[in-house]
């Protein structure tokens, strides 16, 4: 019961933060609030027993992503223009999507149900086999590295590719080389 109480408080704080982000038009404040959002969601991940996820979210969401967003604002503009169109059509679209999603959750097992289909198959199998197969306490690391090593290799490759993409878009290697050639000629 205490868990539920804490969850509801955290979720209402998250909702208030998200609504504040909708209303703000100073982008600096928006970025700071998105950092607050990430930290609050990290707290929620802890109450959901996902400590590794909480750790990652706190480091990535509140650290790196805030730095990158601030860097982007420094390269662009700090104030948002008010949209010229009416907010009615987006609101209707969002309401319809939300209603469809809520309809989808009606079939789901209750929150925290130990007999839910998600708990019965592969997850509990990993929990049972890890002490004998790999013998390390953190099951998340065991699955990440060993049982699902292919996935992790793929994710690492995706991160690498995204880094290459940013370098191609932003680093301006060719322009710098041309500048150096001009200096050499001069």
Residues in 144-173 at the binding interface with other proteins, rule: CB under 8 A: 144-146, 148-153, 155-160, 162-167, 169-172
* 84 lies in the site for other proteins, by CB under 8 A: yes
Smallest separation (angstroms) from other proteins to the CB of 19? 7
* 111 lies in the site for other proteins, by CB under 8 A: yes
- 119: tokens are 């708990």
Binding residue (CB under 8 A) for other proteins from 2, 5, 36, 65: 65
Give buried/exposed letters for 28-50 (b at 16+ CB in 10 A, else e). Answer: eebbbbbbbbbebbbbbbbeeee
Nearer to other proteins, 160 or 179 (CB): 160
Smallest separation (angstroms) from other proteins to the CB of 28? 6
Measured between alpha carbons, how far is 7 from 112 in angstroms, rounded to an integer?
13
At 32, give phi and psi (nearest 5°). Answer: -65, -40
**Sign of torsion over alpha carbons 102, 106, 110, 112:** negative
Q: Which residue has the tokens 């290697």?
A: 173
| CB within 8 Å of 20: residues ≥ 6 apart | 33
Q: What is the CA radius of gyration of the chain?
A: 23
Binding residue (CB under 8 A) for other proteins from 55, 178, 179, 180: 55
Among 135, 139, 111, residue whose Cα is nearest residue 126: 139
* 9 lies in the site for other proteins, by CB under 8 A: no
Smallest separation (angstroms) from other proteins to the CB of 155? 4
Binding residue (CB under 8 A) for other proteins from 2, 5, 114, 183: 114
Binding residue (CB under 8 A) for other proteins from 9, 112, 178, 180: 112
Residue 26: helix, strand or coil by DSSP?
strand
Size of the site for other proteins (CB under 8 A): 118
Binding residue (CB under 8 A) for other proteins from 18, 129, 177, 179: 18
Smallest separation (angstroms) from other proteins to the CB of 44? 6
């Amino acid at each position: 019961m205490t868990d539920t109480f804490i969850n509801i408080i955290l979720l209402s704080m998250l909702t208030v933060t998200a609504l504040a982000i909708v209303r703000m038009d100073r982008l600096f404040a928006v970025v700071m609030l998105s950092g607050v959002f990430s930290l609050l969601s990290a707290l929620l991940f802890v109450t959901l027993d996902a400590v590794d996820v909480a750790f990652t979210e706190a480091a990535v969401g509140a650290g790196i992503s805030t730095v990158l967003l601030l860097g982007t604002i420094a390269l662009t503009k700090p104030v948002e223009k008010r949209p010229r169109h009416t907010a009615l059509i987006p609101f209707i679209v969002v309401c319809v999507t939300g209603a469809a999603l809520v309809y989808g959750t009606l079939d789901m097992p209750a929150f925290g149900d130990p007999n839910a289909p998600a708990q019965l198959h592969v997850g509990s199998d990993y929990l049972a086999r890890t002490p004998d197969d790999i013998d390390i306490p953190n099951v998340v690391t065991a699955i990440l590295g060993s049982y699902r090593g292919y996935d992790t290799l793929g994710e690492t490759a995706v991160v690498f590719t995204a880094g290459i993409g940013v370098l191609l878009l932003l680093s301006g290697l060719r322009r710098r080389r041309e500048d150096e050639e001009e200096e050499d000629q001069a």
